[in-house]
Amino acid sequence: KDAAMEGALSFAVETAQNAFKAAKEAPTWAKAALAAAALMALREAYLSVTEKSVEGEVCLITGAGSGIGRMLAKSMAAGGAKVALLDINEAAAKEAAAEIAASGGHAFAARCDVTSHEDVAVAVAAAREALGSDITILVNNAGVVSGKPLLETSDRAIKRTFDVNVIAHYWTLKECLPSMVRNNHGHVVTVASAAGWVGIPRQCDYSASKWAANGLAEALRMELRHMGATGVSTTCVCPFYIDTGMFEGVRGSWLPTLPILKPDYVVASMMTAIRRRTPVLNMPAMVNLTPLMRAGLPVAAFDWCCDFLGITKSMDDFAGRSIDAPGSS
């Protein structure tokens, strides 16, 4: 691995040196661009050879019966991790676990209402017993959406959105984090949303819950750092709309760099972020500009950008899995 790192870094340095020589007479802006590109190449080379493996890890994923959670569970198992799949739909979770087992993986599945601390405690204890180890990777993935204007959103839906999308994270952390801190080894993955960076019409509950999840992930990262738990990493995942059915009918931006995301791309990006211990994963890359635009632009200008990109009307034709639909819980 050291040889691979040395080779990758040498290649990146040599490439950068050659580029600078070729651009010796280039304008200042071109030199700055080349310098930035060289730094990015060095960073990518370093990260690619310092990725950690998930082999031997014990990963617990909420909302693992379908969508991104199910796909991530399979990717984790393929990488050699033992996987605990929790979902309120027990049949779906067990079906996914059976598929993992059939492929030679090690998986455990259980029904769990993540809004209940008692349910979470029982499920985590059962996972530990079944997999023979403490949880070392926690993925808080379960999520719900109502997709309605605030005044049309039921009290039940508002409460359920916050209970599932953020309060549940506290319950899983309470059960899984102590052993990570004690062993100074672990990883907490928070699946938030690009809606945790910007308010979107028909998402007054959802967007607010994702802002809260984003804030929790940030505070937890700082708290672990302050505690000296340097072996416990955190990753906050903030994707744009994903083509899983949860946001059926939403409109993507007309901009090619802000598309509705394919699940395979999201899961692959998450796996890379986990291996590289990336603190924040915004998808696609353009989402990285959102906090900068919010900070640097007047409110009216930022709102205009949202209108121009099609974000403001993105939920107008929403027909996905609303929390108010029968059986959505």
Q: With 70 as the cut, is the pLDDT of residue 322 above it?
A: no
Contact by Cβ (8 Å): 131, 84 = yes
Residue 328 falls inside a structural domain: no
Do 40 and 189 share a domain, yes or no?
no
Do 43 and 62 share a domain, yes or no?
no
Q: With 60 as the cut, is the pLDDT of residue 124 above it?
A: yes
Q: Between residues 191 and 10, which one has the greater pLDDT? A: 191
Q: Tens digit of pLDDT for each residue in 132-159?
A: 999 999 999 999 999 999 999 999 999 9
Q: Tens digit of pLDDT for each residue in 245-289?
A: 888 888 888 888 899 999 999 999 999 999 999 999 999 999 999
Structural domain containing residue 6:
2-49
Residue partners of 239: CB distance under 8 A and separation at least 6: 193, 194, 261, 266, 282, 283, 287
Do 43 and 96 share a domain, yes or no?
no
pLDDT of residue 220: 99
State the CATH number of the domain containing residue 197: 3.40.50.720
Point out the domain boundary residue: 14, 32, 49: 49
Q: What is the pTM of this model?
A: 0.85
Residue 327 falls inside a structural domain: no
Q: How many domains does the chain have?
A: 2
* Mean pLDDT across 287-299: 94
Residue 319 falls inside a structural domain: no
Do 30 and 81 share a domain, yes or no?
no
* Mean pLDDT across 110-115: 98
Residue 324 falls inside a structural domain: no
Sheet architecture: strand order including 58-62: 107-111, 82-87, 58-62, 137-140, 186-191, 232-239, 280-283
Enzyme catalytic residues: 206
Do 275 and 252 share a domain, yes or no?
yes
Residue 118 falls inside a structural domain: yes
Do 171 and 228 share a domain, yes or no?
yes
pLDDT of residue 25: 65
DSSP annotation of 24 reads T
Q: 299 is written with which tokens?
A: 């409110």
Residue 112 falls inside a structural domain: yes
**Integer angstrom CA distances of residue 137 from 76, 99, 172, 179, 305:** 10, 21, 11, 11, 37
Do 89 and 233 share a domain, yes or no?
yes
* Mean pLDDT across 31-45: 62
Do 163 and 18 share a domain, yes or no?
no
* Mean pLDDT across 1-9: 63
Do 86 and 205 share a domain, yes or no?
yes
Do 97 and 208 share a domain, yes or no?
yes
Residue 322 falls inside a structural domain: no
